[in-house]
Structure 1
Amino acid sequence: MKTFKVQSFILISIGFILGMSEFIIVGIINDLASSFHVGISAIGFLVTLFAIVYAITTPVLSMLVGKHRLSRVMLGLLIVFITSNVLTAVATSYFLLAVSRILNAVVAGIMVSIAITFAAVIAPPQKRAWLISWVFSGYSIASVFGVPIGTWISDQVGWRVAFWLIVAISVRLHSCLCSHCQAI
């Protein structure tokens, strides 16, 4: 039972960190526009670009996962997710920022799909719906708490620190996933 609780926490946290990384742009749009000397509409376009890439790549990549071990796929995707957030944190141009957001969008959708599949596999039948709803709730929690926290961090010490925080949490989740979810 303890293993299920830890695995559940990991999956819910993955939902949260994916949501925070996706939605934080809205909270720091002015800071990004100022940093990259572009209009707010250019930064807003990154939100649209993210959504388009997410929508196109998620079903395609979901089909490609097939029978691969979920834990290995998720670990690999987390590495790409971490990389995309490092690229965002160190971006020196709007182009590099856009590339980092595209890379983030490519892996975010498939990570949600795998987290939900993971939840269905690890949860006993009576807890499946509960866990799947909580993985999705990670996104909502990110909107309610993650974005304001990221915005506050951006206001206090800079928007790059908010992305470094996402990287740090993601690295920790990668480590936890290695330790507690290898069997799937």
Structure 2
Amino acid sequence: MPRAVHVLAFGIFAMVSSEFLVAGLMPQMAEGLDVSVSQIGYLITAFAVAMSVGGPVLSLALLRVPPRDALLGLFALFLVGNVLAATAVNYPVMLAARIVTGVAAQAFFGVALSLAATLTGPAERGRASARVMNGLMLGTLLGLPMATLIGERFGWRAAFWAISVLTLLAAAATLRGVPARAVTAERPDVRRELTVFRRPAVWWAFATSTLIIGATFAAFSYVNPVMTEITGFSSGTVPLLLVAYGAATVLGNLVVGRLADRYTVPVQVVGVLANAGFLAGLALLAHVPVPAVALLLGIGLVGVTMNPAMIVRAQRAGDAGLLLNTAHASFITLGVILGSLLGGLAIEAHGLRAPLWLGAGLAVLALGTLLVECTPAARARRAVAAAPSPASTQADAAPVDAAPVEAGAPGPESR
């Protein structure tokens, strides 16, 4: 696997650590900004809306920009948003900061996934996506607990400053580890990339991704108050629970990444069924510590870890271009919006268990969107998509780095 793929994962790690930070510091931020916990939850929604709407627009502007230059520019914008959050004097300023960081993060996801597809062949795109998305899982495992711990010890503003430093480190790694000019099979063309959105299979894939992530975030957005107010854990225990949850997502991502290329739809069906059961179980048993922790870990194993399979499905339905990847990421983020927004409304109406039941319901809906892929026509379509045309085979056959290979140096096949 090219080194650049791992560097891209580091960038995702920085982005996700900031995105999830709010979920880990809800009570502290609510007190510091003099607002309710549900209003802090809406910051997650605002971040997600900015990603969904602003990310694709920004990606259009970056379509002809060399990938590394685009990534560095997005790091700069992301840094501005985090500094603004660290110095926010009131809720509106914090809201603006989350919008800025959300737009930058979404475009970064699109560029990173497209570049990973460019640097690897079609048969390895599931694994490459899993490697890049390891940044998401490690953000849950390490970034979120780290930010939560810093926020609890030194104040929530310090957590945003820490993310700012992490952003600078990721930008430096990108400058050194990502090729200055990544070779692509074709010159980017807006009209060509837009044509894939005419395919119904693309929209079914987007719908599934939205509902899978929505089901997970209905619970995860409010894991702190659920675990402290219902289960009875202290606020100091929450970072440890988040570490365990993050470890489960890393393990799940490794497994799904291995299966995504060959069993794209079946792995999602199994994951969605398991997630629905875990979410419903947590809603019933949140007041009992041991089952509650076990069910939380189960959600970590089969929730956001479906990302590699979701990405492969969307790319096979359409292509691996920047616009499709960014649009798909927008629909994934739409799931965050549905989960956090509807979850907040459910809490206000029915209490802290309500978003868990909501998540189980969204998982059942996700299963319905997957059933369309089990028809004979859908299987035939996937078979055609899996067989590249002769014209594209040569372009996609091997991973490519922009840097020339010196005589006697190992080529891409040796990585």
In the alignment, residue 103 of structure 2 is paired with which amino acid? V
In the alignment, residue 92 of structure 1 is paired with which amino acid? V
Tell me what 1:64 maps to. Answer: 61
2:181 corresponds to which of 166, 180, 183: 183
Q: How many Å separate the matches in 1 of 2:121 and 2:159?
A: 36
Tell me what 2:22 maps to. Answer: 25
**1:9 counterpart = 2:13:** no
Q: Residue 89 of structure 2 aligns to a residue in which SS?
A: coil
Residues 26 and 40 in structure 2, CA contact (< 8 A), matched pair in contact too: yes
Tell me what 1:86 maps to. Answer: 83
Residues 6 and 131 in structure 2, CA contact (< 8 A), matched pair in contact too: no
Deviations 1:53-111 (A, max 9, x none): 21112222223322221111111110000111111111112111111000011111110
Q: What are the residue-to-residue correspondences of 1:114-125 with 2, within 5 Å? A: 114-123=111-120
Tell me what 1:129 maps to. Answer: 126
Q: Residue 183 of structure 1 aligns to a residue in which SS?
A: coil
Q: Residue 67 of structure 1 aligns to a residue in which SS?
A: coil
Structure 1 stretches of 4+ with a deviation exceeding 4 A read: 124-127
Q: How many Å separate the matches in 2 of 1:180 and 1:53?
A: 28
- How far has the Cα of 1:175 moved from its partner? 1.5
Q: How many Å separate the matches in 1 of 2:169 and 2:139?
A: 17
Tell me what 2:151 maps to. Answer: 154
Q: How many Å separate the matches in 1 of 2:122 and 2:51?
A: 30
Q: How big is the alpha-carbon RMSD for the aligned residues of Structure 1 and Structure 2?
A: 1.7
- How far has the Cα of 1:18 moved from its partner? 1.1
- How far has the Cα of 1:122 moved from its partner? 2.6
Of all paired residues, the percent bearing the same amino acid is: 29
- How far has the Cα of 1:159 moved from its partner? 1.4
**1:173 counterpart = 2:173:** no
- Stretches of structure 1 lacking an aligned partner (at least 5 in a row): none
Residues 67 and 115 in structure 2, CA contact (< 8 A), matched pair in contact too: yes
Q: How many Å separate the matches in 2 of 1:36 and 1:99?
A: 14
Q: How many Å separate the matches in 1 of 2:160 and 2:124?
A: 33
Tell me what 2:39 maps to. Answer: 42
Q: Residue 91 of structure 1 aligns to a residue in which SS?
A: coil
Q: How many Å separate the matches in 1 of 2:120 and 2:160?
A: 31
Deviations 1:141-168 (A, max 9, x none): 2123321221111111111221111111
Residues 75 and 167 in structure 2, CA contact (< 8 A), matched pair in contact too: yes
- How far has the Cα of 1:127 moved from its partner? 4.2
Tell me what 1:139 maps to. Answer: 136
With structure 2 as the length reference, what TM-score do the two structures score?
A: 0.42
Q: How many Å separate the matches in 2 of 1:52 and 1:131?
A: 27
In the alignment, residue 174 of structure 1 is paired with which amino acid? A
Tell me what 2:48 maps to. Answer: 51
Greater CA radius of gyration, 1 or 2?
A: 2
**1:95 counterpart = 2:92:** yes
Q: How many Å separate the matches in 1 of 2:125 and 2:18?
A: 26
Q: How many Å separate the matches in 2 of 1:115 and 1:122?
A: 11
Q: How many Å separate the matches in 2 of 1:174 and 1:142?
A: 16
- How far has the Cα of 1:130 moved from its partner? 1.6
- Stretches of structure 2 lacking an aligned partner (at least 5 in a row): 183-415
Q: How many Å separate the matches in 2 of 1:175 and 1:123?
A: 23
Tell me what 1:109 maps to. Answer: 106
With structure 1 as the length reference, what TM-score do the two structures score?
A: 0.90
Q: How many Å separate the matches in 2 of 1:152 and 1:178?
A: 29
- Point out the more displaced range, 72-81 or 130-139: 130-139
Q: Residue 102 of structure 1 aligns to a residue in which SS?
A: helix
Tell me what 2:74 maps to. Answer: 77
Tell me what 2:303 maps to. Answer: none
Q: How many Å separate the matches in 2 of 1:75 and 1:146?
A: 21
